[in-house]
Structure 1
Amino acid sequence: MVESAARRVRHSVTVKAPADTVFDLVADVTRWPLLFPPTVHAEQLERTGPDERIRLWALANGEVKTWTSRRSLDRSRLSVRFRQEISQPPVASMGGEWSLEALSERETLVVLHHDYRALDDDPEGLRWIRQAVDRNSRAELDRLRDAVELDGGGEELALSFEDSVRVRGAAGDVYAFLADAARWPERLPHVARLELREDTPGVQEMEMGTRAVDGTTHTTRSVRVCFPEHRIVYKQTVLPLAMAGHTGEWLIREREDGALEVTSRHVVLIDTVGAAKALGERTTVEQAKAVVRTALGKNSRTTLEHARAYAEERAHG
């Protein structure tokens, strides 16, 4: 059977920012989950000079897909080339390039090229891939433009923090408590309801109703990627009004004294427009960060304490 030629598509956007600034965001894949709507989680597996191997989890046409890619970063050419090593159906192969052109000192043309094939050249598979590439490329380019034009890449609007507890119990029990989020409504006082799907083992999609201090309930949606017994990472895909992005992590590590250290980490991007609507027009970025830190920290610490009690009760009978 003769393999058909790869389909090729091109998407572009003009960004009012220096090319080096734009290149930095494209090159740093670890920032993509916070900035780019489709990306759930990204890990750099290897790095040798300008070449790296990465693994991504991302939404494609509403489905969570994961793949491993190799990328070659060339700052002198303002280019990042990529090629999937391991793809997921219906994709047979995919690659492409981020290509930047400095139109002036403060304006950059960003072009995102893709080439792809579908398994068995299936027409339905080709339609699915084209739709996913179109949606994700446009979402990424639009967000890239907004990130550098509106908030300088998001650094001033970003908030990172963590909370930890010490646990005298088994890592498996702590992990089980955190992974079995479907039972959180009966275990955690701030969780009013939770719907969880795990169509692919280790990839969870959940919708949660969280009780606020004033008694109101707000709904968020998240995608979680689980690494059994030691780590769960997540991204909120439907956020509270004051946030433009929110990623997090539950991390379980063994201490030198034999106890466990269980940590909740958050990285948040403040939505200044949403914060003004939710908290008042005169709310500053620092005030919004303080409110978010308090609310998320309180719920995280509550979850950590209940996970500790669950694991220690099981450890001590």
Structure 2
Amino acid sequence: MSASALREVEHEITIEAPATTVYGLIESVTNWPHVFPPTIHVEQLESTGRQERIRIWATARGEVKTWTSRRELDPEALRITFRQEVSAPPVAAMGGAWVIEPLTADSCRVRLLHDYRALDDSPQGLAWIDEAVDRNSRSELAALRDSARRASHAGELFLTFDDTVHIDGSAEDVYDFLNAADRWRERLPHVSRVELRETEPGLQILTMDTLTKDGSQHSTESVRVCFPRTRIVYKQTRVPALMTVHTGRWSLVEEPGGVAVTSRHTVVLNPDTIRQVLGETADVADARTFVRNALGTNSLATLGHAKEYAESKS
């Protein structure tokens, strides 16, 4: 590849939050799905001191991509560099850095640097990457600003909970039920519409209308990353008004005589819509209770039907 094909770009934003707070949000890569809209799921593959190796699943221009990167953390300099080991087409190579520059005790400038090449130095591929990097960088920096601003009261807006059911059946049958979401409309009473598109094995885009116990209907879209027989992780890319983020995970752990299946939900509430959705007297505590009940009820219903399905196969 020619040196002239290398593209270098920079995006920046000023954030009214301490530089160390912002650095912490960028450093905690496994929390990125709750901070950055394009990020679906992240796994830390290796970590030794200030070096780490990660795998990321994220959206880019409406497509789901996955790649492996190495990161070098420098908390003293407030800088994190990254370099993709295995890129997703049309990217041939990509790297860059997050640079946080303190302005005052309670504000900082964040610079996001990228350098990249397209496969075969393709002009069309380079144009695709240009747009994807620009769109994602702007989205990520805006989301980072919003997350940093919410950091002082993030605890009350952040909600995570588990529901677990023991099933006297095989992990394979339970996984098949959860994986085949295209059949949920016929199998799950609370699902009124479903569309499933599998872009490649184990990578799904799920669009669904669900009913809550109060009779209201919610339309959602999720990207799901499937790990056969063990877990399915997902992130909603279109969420109900009461949330800004919703991620989830179905985990299967084999036990003597069966399998324990856990549904985990993690939600970031939207404080600006609570009264609009729940009424003028509603507050964050009401929203937490409503979301816990609505999501938990549907998850337990799904697990109940998965239990019937798997146990009938035994």
Query: TM-score range, shorter-chain basis?
Result: over 0.9
Query: Which shifted more, 4-13 or 90-99?
Result: 4-13
1:73 is matched with which residue? 73
Q: CA deviation at 1:217?
A: 1.9
SS at match of 2:77: coil
CA contact (8 A) 1:151 1:157 kept: no
2:265 is matched with which residue? 266
Is 2:302 the counterpart of 1:303?
A: yes
Q: CA deviation at 1:34?
A: 1.3
Q: CA deviation at 1:168?
A: 1.1
2:189 is matched with which residue? 189
Is 2:24 the counterpart of 1:28?
A: no
CA contact (8 A) 1:51 1:73 kept: yes
C-alpha separation between the residues in 2 aligned to 1:155 and 1:64? 30
User: Partner letter of residue 61 of structure 1?
Assistant: R
2:131 is matched with which residue? 131
2:275 is matched with which residue? 276
CA displacement 1:181-212 (0-9 Å, x = unmatched): 00001000100010010021111001100112
CA contact (8 A) 2:171 2:258 kept: no
Which residues of 2 match residues 35-46 of structure 1 at below 5 A?
Answer: 35-46=35-46
CA contact (8 A) 2:169 2:257 kept: no
CA displacement 1:112-156 (0-9 Å, x = unmatched): 000000001101100100100001000010011011114537333
SS at match of 2:301: helix
C-alpha separation between the residues in 2 aligned to 1:248 and 1:258? 26
C-alpha separation between the residues in 2 aligned to 1:84 and 1:111? 19
CA contact (8 A) 1:147 1:153 kept: no
CA contact (8 A) 1:245 1:270 kept: yes
Gaps of 5+ in 2: none
Superposed structure 1 runs of 4+ greater than 4 Å apart: none
Which residues of 2 match residues 5-24 of structure 1 at below 5 A?
Answer: 5-24=5-24
TM-score (ref. length: structure 2)? 0.98
C-alpha separation between the residues in 2 aligned to 1:155 and 1:131? 35
1:313 is matched with which residue? 312
CA displacement 1:58-94 (0-9 Å, x = unmatched): 0000000000000001000000000000001000000
The percentage of counterpart residues that share the same residue type is 55
Which residues of 2 match residues 167-246 of structure 1 at below 5 A?
Answer: 167-246=167-246
CA contact (8 A) 2:244 2:268 kept: yes
C-alpha separation between the residues in 2 aligned to 1:153 and 1:43? 27
Is 2:149 the counterpart of 1:149?
A: yes
TM-score (ref. length: structure 1)? 0.97
CA displacement 1:201-249 (0-9 Å, x = unmatched): 1110011001122333221110000001110000001111101100000
CA contact (8 A) 1:15 1:107 kept: yes
**Distance change (3 Å), C-alpha of 1:64 and 1:153:** farther
1:88 is matched with which residue? 88
SS at match of 1:72: strand
CA contact (8 A) 1:100 1:111 kept: yes
SS at match of 2:13: strand
Query: Which shifted more, 173-182 or 203-212?
Result: 203-212
How many aligned positions are there?
Answer: 314
C-alpha separation between the residues in 2 aligned to 1:47 and 1:152? 28
C-alpha separation between the residues in 1 aligned to 2:300 and 2:37? 27
C-alpha separation between the residues in 1 aligned to 2:153 and 2:178? 32
CA displacement 1:255-281 (0-9 Å, x = unmatched): 2x2321000001000001122211123
SS at match of 2:20: helix
**Distance change (3 Å), C-alpha of 1:15 and 1:153:** farther
C-alpha separation between the residues in 2 aligned to 1:282 and 1:49? 49
